[in-house]
Amino acid sequence: MEKKRILSGMRPSGRLHLGNYAGALENWVKLQNDYDCYYFVADWHALTTNPLAAFDVEENTIQMVIDWLSAGIKPDLPLFVQSRVKEHAELHLLFSMLITKERLERNPTLKEQIRDLHKDTIIYGHLGYPVLQAADILMYKANLVPVGEDQLSHVEITREIARKFNQLYGEVFPEPQPKLTTFSRLPGLDGRKMGKSNNNFILISDPPEEIHKKVRTAITDPQKVRRGDPGHPDICNVFKYHQKFNPDETEQIRTDCESGALGCVACKQRAAEKIADYFAPFREKRAHFESHPDDVRDIINEGTKKAKAVAQQTMDDVHKAMKMG
Ligand code: TRP
């Protein structure tokens, strides 16, 4: 049986952190065996919230793709960069005629982002970025789109655009389904969402000393002040790291934390060791790619070529259906 096609993208945010890993990349690695996967760098999307991000895109793209490869993403997959497949821009333009501004304004993810940005106006490209996302997805006629909950509304918009196109011009696009990524949300060192702007992150490429240094600053159970105090693992950020990266010892750590036998210093030390061990093979692969930057460029060039071939085919279908272009 032919494998179902998956498409997913990440904005070029440079080196990835543990939150990116647990929230998306780990899942991408698993999916590549069972599906026909297309993974891409959504670099035009990075401009929707900051046009000056353009100047950082090249370096951030390379660093992020090195992290993908270090995590075990296969180099022969179509790994590509959105801005190098210009067909996305044309399809985005055509799709922009198939959806109303009011529909885009109802997007709950957008409302949240506007609230976070503390702005009462919105850039046209930001309002329309789900339409660009629809072009990304439908260009490859993807069946499944692995996304976090915040992106569900965008897959829904994609489905609506596919239906509208098919209804007006003829059947070209399948309606993709979201594939929800289920994961234990990894908090940042301070308990907020892990993110670059919150400065509470551990990178998957951090060297062991750096991981130890960062984990030492993590906020644990505020009521556990000294060793001997009984702790509450369920409200402790470091315990979440144990659950993810040290599953075998998690129950023992819970018992010893709750009884007071295990202090936070030792507990953090152990968590840092386990995180460092987990990512050791990643660091090794990164070192290889860092000393062979042309390999990374070749992988992206090859992937982009494969993606472009599919995109051109889709645009042929689109032009035929529309009797235009
Ligand atoms: N909008 C997604 C994000 O901000 C990134 C993205 C762009 C994407 N195009 C996509 C994800 C297509 C999945 C499929 O995270």
Spell out the domains of the chain, with CATH numbers in brackets: 5-186+293-322 (3.40.50.620), 206-278 (1.10.240.10)
Closest CA to 103 of 38, 46, 156, 169: 156
Distance 177 CA to ligand 1 centre (A): 14
Closest CA to 15 of 60, 50, 55, 57: 60
CA atoms lying within 13 Å on the CB side of residue 93: 7
Distance between CA atoms of residues 202 and 196, nearest Å: 9
| Ligand 1, atom 13, residue with closest C-alpha | 8
Closest CA to 187 of 130, 153, 238: 238
138 lines ligand 1 (CB under 6 A): no
pTM: 0.95
Non-local (6+) Cβ contacts of 19 within 8 A are 185, 186, 188, 193, 194, 195, 201
| Paired tokens of 188 | 């940042």
| Paired tokens of 132 | 């660009």
| Ligand 1, atom 6, residue with closest C-alpha | 9
Nearest ligand 1 atom to the CA of 129 is 1
Classified as helix, coil or strand, 19 is helix
**Per-residue three-class SS string for 65-134:** HHHHHHCCCCCCCCEEEHHHCCHHHHHHHHHCCCCCHHHHHCCHHHHHHHHHHCCCCCCHHHHCHHHHHH
Distance between CA atoms of residues 312 and 320, nearest Å: 12
Token pair 């070529």 is found at 305
pLDDT score recorded for residue 120: 81
135 lines ligand 1 (CB under 6 A): no
pLDDT score recorded for residue 212: 98
| Ligand 1, atom 8, residue with closest C-alpha | 9
pLDDT score recorded for residue 226: 85
Closest CA to 20 of 62, 58, 64: 64
Q: Which of 6, 10, 95, 116 to mutate to test the pocket of ligand 1 (most atoms within 8 A of CB)?
A: 10
Q: Which of 138, 151, 156 to mutate to test the pocket of ligand 1 (most atoms within 8 A of CB)?
A: 151
pLDDT score recorded for residue 2: 87
pLDDT score recorded for residue 112: 87
Taking residue 265's Cβ as centre, other Cβ atoms within 10 Å add up to: 12
- Using the 8-state DSSP alphabet, how is residue 229 labeled? S
Distance 42 CA to ligand 1 centre (A): 7
CB 136 within 8 A of CB 42: yes
| Paired tokens of 147 | 């996304």
Q: Which helix (H) or strand (E) holds 146?
A: strand 144-147
147 lines ligand 1 (CB under 6 A): yes
Catalogue the E-assigned strands of 138-233: 144-147, 177-180
CB 176 within 8 A of CB 169: no
CB 29 within 8 A of CB 73: yes
| Paired tokens of 294 | 């042309």
| Paired tokens of 186 | 């990894």
Distance between CA atoms of residues 220 and 209, nearest Å: 20
Distance 17 CA to ligand 1 centre (A): 17
Whole-number CA gyration radius for the chain: 22
pLDDT score recorded for residue 225: 87
Distance 269 CA to ligand 1 centre (A): 36
Nearest ligand 1 atom to the CA of 42 is 7
137 lines ligand 1 (CB under 6 A): yes
pLDDT of the chain, 325 residues: tens digit per residue = 789 999 999 999 999 999 999 999 999 999 999 999 999 999 999 999 899 999 999 999 999 999 999 999 999 999 999 999 999 999 999 999 999 999 999 999 988 888 887 778 899 999 999 999 999 999 999 999 998 888 999 999 999 999 999 999 999 999 999 998 776 689 999 999 999 999 999 999 999 999 999 999 999 999 998 888 999 999 999 999 999 999 999 999 999 999 999 999 999 999 999 999 999 999 999 999 999 999 999 999 999 999 999 999 999 999 999 999 9
| Paired tokens of 61 | 């793209």
Total residues found in the chain within this entry: 325
| Ligand 1, atom 11, residue with closest C-alpha | 9
Closest CA to 137 of 165, 103, 169: 165
Nearest ligand 1 atom to the CA of 147 is 13
